Amino acid sequence: MAALPGAADAHTSERHGSKPTIVLVHGAWADASSWTGVVRQLQADGYRVIAPANPLRSLESDSDYLETLLATIDGPIVLVGHSYGAAVITNAAAGDPAVQALVFVNGSVPAEGETVAELAGPDSALSVSDPTTIFDFVPAALPPTPETDVYLKSTTFLRSFATGLSRDRALALWATQRPVTFGALNEPSGKPAWESIPSWYLIGTEDRVIPSSAQEDMADKAGSTVVRYHAGHLGPITHPTQVTRTITAAVRATR
């Protein structure tokens, strides 16, 4: 287990060459504002940071979109993905020589052929026999199609997804959640970038959506450097300093 670097180390200026651009990719039922605390800390340390809107339409098209964005960036890149966003960066960065490190935060990290839905494992709060008890589908017609939008019910959002936040803040995030399509959650992944790019995995030990046991298995599969923090699923919001430290540790290790 890798130790979290100290605050002083996290804000030490890089000595060799230019700093990479940090690209932060959010997950399902969220938007780029979930990275606000991390963005502020990285910018304060002199990094160029981009937190794009993840379309959440399909794993392939989301990854293709990110790939086109990465192509506009000059210089090295450190790519960070939270939850479903980790699957997107796993696909988008494959074969990209500009990406020097991958950082997975409470991430869904697939091997080729695996789906995001299966990676959460049987102990996830989202692994239920009747999905209508935890999801709202739009349109409501069942069974859902690949194009059906999937929203989290308020009870699921408050009890499992937004743990560690005040009820008022969690309710506001629930009301503004961005849906992911049913197809995106169940689409087989392509060739994973972690086969050729070094990775770090920040495991949220209190996560109810992707339990820590499932995260440990994915980190082991990807050969990631593992860091653990006492956080639920929305660690980038509740624990931005720990997330930032892991990102900067990946930067220093891959200079």
Q: Is the pLDDT of residue 2 over 70?
A: no
Residue 134 has pLDDT above 60, yes or no: yes
Residues linked to residue 102 through DSSP beta bridges, in sequence order: 79, 199
What's the pLDDT band for 17 if we cut at 50, 70, 90? low
Which structure tokens are listed for 8? 């002083």
What pTM value is reported for the model? 0.93
Lowest mean pLDDT among 8-22, 184-198, 209-223, 228-242: 8-22
3-state secondary structure 97-131: CCEEEEEEECCCCCCCCCCHHHHCCCCCCCCCCCH
- Residues 250, 255: Cα–Cα separation, whole Å: 9
Q: What is the CB-side half-sphere exposure of residue 55 using CA atoms within 13 A?
A: 15
Both structure tokens of 109: 């990290």
Mean pLDDT of 130-149: 97
Contact 103, 23 (CB under 8 A): no
Q: Tell me the per-residue pLDDT of 62-97, one tens digit each, with 9 for 90 and over.
A: 999 999 999 999 999 999 999 999 999 999 999 999
What mean pLDDT is predicted for residues 140-145? 97
